[in-house]
Chain A
């Protein structure tokens, strides 16, 4: 083959390689989205109904902000402290090249482990789709807890309602109602 032939062939090689690499870059993940912002008044608005039914006062929310993610902690408690509702909302930022749902699934798994320690995955709920189950102390039911990812895939929510055993029976319904209300998102 002549030098001109090699030159033309190499040019074709470069064009082909550039086309494939370019196509790969063009179809890469889009720029990551920022964190969902939990609006002011979120805690009061979310917990007021259940607080009214259980005679609780909604406590001042707390926020912990990291480099990328943010945790909002809401709580409501009875005057004597025997009933307590804790709600955490962890909003996650997408990472370059990794969608938010990859991060939320990891954090959901951690939340489910924290809620139901000592149990194998799936025993008290499947962390893939969230988890929920009773809170028990010395073989007595003292509440209910749930963790899930909002439908938009941007936040991991945990809900814990504990109460004396004679009142704890109603906690499952309250937690389920709250989870249903919040599943649409928090932003």
Chain B
């Protein structure tokens, strides 16, 4: 066989083989990433565990949590709301900067608590390792008490919002929130 023909065949075969190999490696990377992100989804079972009956009883609520399309567990009570959400911080297969992303979540959640005439107490000195960030809105009459707690775990932020509850005692709010925090720490 002609020597040039042999070189030509070798070049074509080598290019084809390495091209296919590189494509396969890239495809595998994408598949791994997709799987990693998908496994971060909150399940209905996690949702039920994250909002325990004991917490609801402390808050004087009889309702079941539902899983929203945004990976949140929500107990909808008209204008009142209890929301437990876990946000995975995987970006491009790597975790985002946790303290930075968690602080952003805290500022947004706290910023949404309209001040009006209520007293809004912010506790931003929470950066990891402890304690969790918390922002509480306590109207003078006790109608529409709201509190937001932001927790951090290895690769995600857990946010607990208890909004617009009418409670005669802040102690009941704290008791309910403690149960929710404990449940979230167990589930996630």
Contact = CB atoms under 8 A, between A and B. Distances in A.
Do A and B originate from a single complex?
yes
Q: Is the interface of B mostly helix, strand, loop or mixed?
A: mixed
A15 B22 CA distance: 16
A164 B91 contact: no
Contacts of B9: 9, 12
Given A8-B3, A12-B9, A106 B96 contact: yes
A111 B114 contact: no
A20 B94 CA distance: 28
Contact of A1 (B1, B8, B103, B113): B1
A111 to B, nearest CB: 7
Contact of B83 (A13, A68, A77, A117): A117
Interface in A40-79: 62, 64-71, 73, 77
Interface stretch (B47-55, B65-73, B173-181): B65-73
A126 interface: no
Nearest to B95: A67
Nearest to A74: B107
A114 B96 contact: no
A102 B116 contact: no
A110 interface: yes
Contacts, number: 198
Contact of A5 (B1, B11, B101): B1
Contacts of B71: 113
Interface in A153-180: 156, 158, 160, 162-165
Contacts of B109: 114
A37 to B, nearest CB: 15
Interface string A103-139: 1001100110111011111000000000000010111
Given A117-B83, A137-B164, A73 B17 contact: no
B81 interface: yes
B14 A70 contact: no
A142 interface: yes
Contacts of B97: 66-69
Contact of A111 (B100, B108, B120): B108
B144 interface: yes
Contacts of A3: none
A107 B91 contact: yes
Output the residue of B15, B83, B89, B127 with the most chain A CB within 10 A. Answer: B15
A120 B19 CA distance: 41
Contacts of A158: 104, 107-108, 111
Nearest to B89: A110
Given A111-B108, A115-B112, A16 B10 contact: yes
B108 A15 contact: no
Nearest to B117: A82
Nearest to A15: B11
Given A64-B127, A120-B68, A12 B98 contact: no
15 contacts: A12-B6, A13-B10, A15-B10, A16-B10, A64-B127, A66-B100, A82-B116, A82-B117, A86-B111, A98-B92, A103-B91, A103-B92, A106-B90, A107-B96, A138-B144
Given A20-B22, A21-B18, 10 more contacts: A9-B10, A12-B6, A20-B18, A62-B124, A66-B96, A73-B103, A110-B101, A135-B112, A156-B104, A158-B104
